[in-house]
Amino acid sequence: MAERLFSAEAQEKLMQNKNVIKVSETSITYSVDFKIEAVRANVVGGKPPSLIFLDAGFDLEMIGRDNPKRCLRRWRPVLEKLGEEGLRNDQRGKNSTGRPTERELTIEEKLRRAEAKVRYLEKENELLKKFDGIERSVDDRPSKKYRLIHSLIEAKQQGFNVVYLCEVAGVSCSGYYKWLSGALKRAQSHMKDELDLTNCSSIDQVRRVLDDYIYNYNHNRYQWTRKKMAPVEYRNHLLAA
């Protein structure tokens, strides 16, 4: 397959995209944030690569229609195995693995790794105290570890990186993302069963139906354990399933 060449005009247009850092005649360097969001949208949300790039403002005819798929194929394993640092050091070429060696890690990065490990263990210890001996013996499933990781990621505090936490917990990033995707699909499926949007003729009516649904969960509905559940509680219940 012939290598795609970008004209000066194409390079100038591509540089106007906020997700692009650098463009040469033969390659595009994308921002780390875009790479991370693209992988998450693809793995967790199931969004096709071409649609991810279109929504990000890229012209597929300009960059090549197969380019999004090739990029996601390269970024996914790097993010899952090496985290954000791996994407920052991602290099093309047959002699490059994209893996930053231990000596390339900064002191700050090493501290973040250590903090992530401590935070995970603290959270695990905190939750274990809530289980009695019987529950502990039967609750050593990967899903429990995924819930711990998810609770730390939801805290949105520095050092809570999916890759580090999965490494500490002894589970794979791909397994975590599959678990998260399954939980979200269960929530979406249940909402589809509960909601009737067939009579809605405008987006405002859809919003009102959704607002009523949320209000109903907040004030009137009893779910699963016969306890009232707010939407956030219900979401967490599904994630814990």
- Cβ atoms within 10 Å, residue 144: 17
**Its pTM surpasses 0.75:** no
Res 205: pLDDT? 79
Q: Where are the beta strands (DSSP E) in 56-197?
A: none
Res 188: pLDDT? 64
CA pair distance 27, 89, nearest whole angstrom: 16
pLDDT tens digits in sequence order for the chain, 241 residues long:
457 889 999 999 999 999 999 999 999 999 888 998 898 888 877 889 999 999 999 999 999 999 999 999 999 888 777 777 677 766 554 344 444 444 455 676 667 667 766 766 776 666 555 444 434 444 457 787 888 777 777 765 545 567 767 777 778 888 888 887 776 666 666 666 667 667 777 888 777 777 776 666 555 554 444 344 555 555 565 555 5
Res 44: pLDDT? 76
First to last CA, the chain: 47
The residues spanned by each domain of the chain are 8-100, 106-171
Q: Give the CA distances from residue 23 to residues 3, 10, 13, 20, in Å, rounded to whole numbers and listed in that order.
A: 15, 9, 10, 8
User: Position 225: which residue type?
Assistant: T
Res 94: pLDDT? 39
Res 138: pLDDT? 43
Q: Give the CA distances from residue 2 to residues 26, 86, 94, 232, in Å, rounded to whole numbers and listed in that order.
A: 11, 28, 18, 51
Res 99: pLDDT? 45
Handedness of CA 154, 158, 163, 164 (dihedral sign): negative
